[in-house]
Amino acid sequence: MSDLGLFPLPVVLLPTELVPLHIFEERYKELIEECLAQDVDFGLVYADDDGMSDVGTRAHVVRVLTRFDDGRLDILVEGGRRFRVLGLTGGRSFQTGGVEEVVDGPEGPDADTVDRALTLFDRLRTLAGSEVDSPEEGTEQLSFALAARVELAPPVKLELLREVSEPARLERVCELLEDAATTVERQRRAAERAAGNGRVELG
């Protein structure tokens, strides 16, 4: 078990995901400055009115985007390894906790699922008119690489964080990509119908 500085936020960070953060509280300015000075990670943990999640993701500060005169920071972080919070610790101005790494099982996804996932992502990317790059076929933990490129609700992202089987996680990502593509297609058809006659046909 290792001790890690924790940053509770209503945000779920996936491995490989890039997220901008605005740092304004004194305790978290201290945490981020310490991470920058020592080139270490902090733990981003989802938190809401119901409390803090027991799983999170190590966040590495990729870039300081803006430094304000009053000490506030705009930073860009990248998700790294997942961890489970074993217990909260004290002694610092910011929250800390004892954590252990969340590790996937040894099995990998089959080639058909990998092909399906990449095909579904390309379909969604084309439908949405997005210019985001598609991950390569041999990408490690392809499920996270794909999910990090799509807008997902926090509960869904937490579900993916907790899953320790890459095959099962990639299957779930395929379902999410297929649902998203279907939604985009329906919205596009509705917009085309509305533009054509001012009415939207149901069904």
pLDDT tens, 52-89? Answer: 999 999 999 999 999 999 999 999 999 999 999 999 99
Classified as helix, coil or strand, 60 is strand
Closest Cα to residue 181, out of 119, 139, 132, 135? 119
Q: What is the mean pLDDT of residues 89-114?
A: 95
- Report yes or no: 160 and 176 within 8 Å, Cβ to Cβ: no
**For 45-54, what is each residue's pLDDT tens digit?**
999 999 999 9
User: Taking 60 as the threshold, does the pLDDT of residue 28 lie above it?
Assistant: yes
Q: What pLDDT digit, counting tens, does each position of 140-191 carry?
A: 999 999 999 999 999 999 999 999 999 999 999 999 999 999 988 888 877 7
Domains for the chain: give ranges and CATH numbers: 2-101 (2.30.130.40), 111-197 (no CATH)
Mean pLDDT across 84-109: 95
Q: Answer yes or no: is pLDDT of 200 > 90.
A: no
Nearest to 120 by CA among 163, 191, 160, 172: 172
Task: Please calculate the CA angle 55-37-60 and round it to the nearest 5 degrees.
Answer: 30
The yes-or-no verdict on residue 203 having pLDDT over 80 is no
pLDDT band at 111 (very low <50, low <70, confident <90, very high): very high
Q: What is the pLDDT of residue 201?
A: 53
pLDDT at residue 202, as a whole number = 53
Q: Which residues lie closer than 8 Å to 141 by C-beta, 6 or more apart?
A: 15, 16, 104, 166
What is the pLDDT at residue 159? 97
